[in-house]
Each structure stands twice: as C-alpha cells, then as structure tokens.
Amino acid sequence: MEVPALRKSGQEIAVEFRLTPITAARPPHRYVLALVRDVTERRRVEREREALYAAAGEQNRRLAELARLKDDFTAMVAHELGAPIAAIRGLADLATTGVLPPDRHEQAFVTIRQEAEALRVLVTDVQAAAAAERDDFAVDPVPVALDAVVADAVAFGRTLPGDHPLTCPAGTGLLVRADPGRIGQVLRNLLGNAAKFSPPRTPIAVRVTPGGERVGVEVVDRGPGIHPDDLGCIFEKYGRGRGSGAGKIPGHGLGLYLSARIVRAHGGELTVRSTPGQGAAFGFTLEVVR
C-alpha cells in the first residue's frame, strides 16, 4: 500500500509500505518482512508525465479546432463571395450585351454598386479579425466626452434600414477613458445588429447608466431575442446564432467577436441579456475620468 509519512524535519512524503510473510524454519515462529520505500520522486515524475499527456491532448484538441475553424472560414468566405460576384458578373454581362433594356441600366448599376459594397464590407471584416489576432492589436484610450461618442453612434443608427425609432439618453456630461474610434465601432456594430435582427419600425434604445468608477452603455432592441443555447457562441469568431436564419440575414459572425475584443482591451466585458421573443440588450462599461 501507499501511505503518507513524515520525515524528522516534518516534511510530508509518500512511501510505499510492503509486508511479506516469511515461513520460519522452526514453527511456530513466524516472521514478516516490512519494506518502506520513499516514492515521492516517482510520484512527482508521474504527475509531470500526466500533466504533459494532458497538455499534449489539449494541444491536439486546439490544433483540430483551428483546422475546423480554417475550413469553416474558407467555406464561409467562398459562400459570401459567390453571390455578389455572380450578381455583378451577370448584371455586367446583361448591360454590355444589349439584352438589358436601357431603362434598366441605372438600376443594374445601383445593384452592382451594392454588391461591390457587400464585398468591401466582407474584406474589411476579415482584415479587422486578422488584426485582432495579432499581438499589436491595441486601443489608444484617452479622456473623451461620452455624450459625443453616443451622439455619433445614434446619428449612424438613424441611417440604418427598417425605420426604427431610436431613443438615446440625455447628456450625461461624463468623461470616460476610451478610444473613441474603437468604441464607436462597437456601438455601430451593436446598433447594426439591433436593426438587422428586429422587425421594421420596432424601437431601439441606447442607454447610459452611471455607476461610480465605471459607466454602463447598452443597446436594447425588441427583436426576437437570442436562444439560450446560442448565448455561448455569439461572441466567438464566425459564430452566428440561429436567429440569423441559416444565412438569410447577412453577416459574417465577426461584429460581436471584434466588439468583445475591443471592450476587453478597455478593461470591460461585452455582455448580453436576452429573453426569447422580447428582445436583447448588449452592454459594456467604461472607466469614468474624474
């Protein structure tokens, strides 16, 4: 058996305790041979070996996951590129071959421009995701007026499709430590998602909640909400919930991933509260500058 033991110094060690009966030459005398061996070093080596096996297994799992993500990424980009390229090529062929009536040319060019913009957004998102993975991905926080950052985001939100009534807080007068360009990107992503996933003309709200050393900022919608099973994946790269309708709603699953990285670089966490059928609220906090 293996039992704990103490050295004279008080140090606890592991020892192997073995008893072996010995038949005596003159019965009824009986003897037992007792062996006590220090196995502390052996146990340490075994623990290290188990840790190495576990680390190797985790590394293999991560490599397999990276390979899967690479395959998913390749398939996603190929899928997202296919539709705009096909539309641009088809409309260009119609416009140049004379099959398209002259009164349809302007609409064809408008559609071509829209598809080209979709390609530009895809390229921008992929580049931003790649930048976020590099070691030099960083933010440049400076004291900035929170009201100005929110006002710029709200102005952007009012240009989004869907005729969503947009409410925003009254002026807070707060200064926060933030990279205004990066935080503006987060708010635009959140407002764009709210408009994209909410039925037309449903309200969207930007809320600001002062709270001591940090101030909370939230974007709240009244859309379909997020399924509980999707809450763990929507912040992952290329992660999209079932609310995306299996690709019916455009997007690449990068907006929330990048937003979470930006908020984390500001010392906070991007959070979500959602009740299916009643909407969702995405929020984060920023440091208040006194």
Greater confidence (114 vs 267) lies with 267
Q: Please tell me the predicted confidence (pLDDT) of residue 228.
A: 80
**Interval 8-51: pLDDT, tens:** 999 898 899 899 888 766 767 778 888 989 998 888 898 899 99
**Cβ atoms of residues 153 and 188 within 8 Å:** yes
Instruction: Provide the b/e sequence for 114-134 (b: ≥16 CB within 10 Å).
Output: ebeebeebbeebbebbeebee
* Domain boundary pick from 133, 161, 186: 133
Give the span between the Cα atoms of 137 and 157, in whole angstroms. Answer: 26
Q: What value does the mean pLDDT take over residues 212-240? A: 81
Same domain? 179 vs 255: yes
- Sole residue written with tokens 């009536």: 101
Q: Are residues 48 and 103 in the same domain?
A: yes
Q: What share of the chain is helix, strand, coil (3-state, %, to 5)?
A: 45, 25, 30
Q: What pLDDT, on the 0 to 100 scale, is given for residue 246? A: 40
Q: Output the domain CATH number for residue 255.
A: 3.30.565.10
- Orientation angle between helical segments 105-133 and 40-97, nearest 10 degrees: 160
Residues 88, 15, single domain; the answer is: no
Q: Kindly state the average pLDDT of the residues 133-161.
A: 82
Would you call 115 helix, strand, or coil by DSSP?
helix
Give the pLDDT score at 243.
52
Q: Based on the fold, state whether residues 109 and 159 are members of the same structural domain.
A: no
Helix axes 180-197, 255-265, angle to 10 degrees: 150
Q: Are residues 48 and 34 in the same domain?
A: no
**CATH label of the domain that carries residue 107:** 1.10.287
Same domain, 151 and 283: yes
Q: What is the pLDDT of residue 97?
A: 78
Mean pLDDT of 226-237: 75
Residues 273 and 149 in one domain: yes
Residue 238 has pLDDT above 60, yes or no: no
pLDDT at residue 214 is higher than 90: yes
> Of the residues 133, 157, 182, which one is the last residue of a structural domain?
133
Residue 131, pLDDT score: 65
Q: For residue 97, what are the CA distances in angstroms to 105, 106, 111, 203, 259?
A: 12, 15, 17, 46, 45
181-209: average pLDDT: 90
* Domains of the chain: total: 3
Tell me the H-state helices in the chain. 40-97, 105-133, 146-157, 180-197, 255-265
Token pair for 117: 């913009």
Residue 251 has pLDDT above 70, yes or no: no
In this structure, are 98 and 26 located in the same domain? no
Task: Verify that 276 and 148 share a domain, yes or no.
Answer: yes
Residue 184 and residue 248 in one domain: yes
Clarify whether residues 97 and 173 are in a common domain: no
> How does residue 134 score in pLDDT terms, banded at 50, 70 and 90?
low
Q: Give this prediction's pTM.
A: 0.57
pLDDT recorded at residue 247? 46
Are both 76 and 24 inside the same structural domain? no
Residue 140 pLDDT: 85
Percent of the chain with pLDDT over 90: 22
- Residues spanned by the domain of 75: 44-133
Sign of CA dihedral 148, 150, 153, 154: negative
| Residue that terminates a domain, selected from 133, 162, 183 | 133
Q: State the average pLDDT for the chain.
A: 82
Residue 106 to residues 82, 92, 112, 197, Cα–Cα distance (Å): 23, 12, 10, 30
Segment 55-113, tens digit of pLDDT: 898 888 888 877 776 776 676 667 667 767 877 888 888 777 777 777 777 778 888 88
Q: Residue 256 — very low, low, confident or very high, per pLDDT cuts 50/70/90?
A: confident
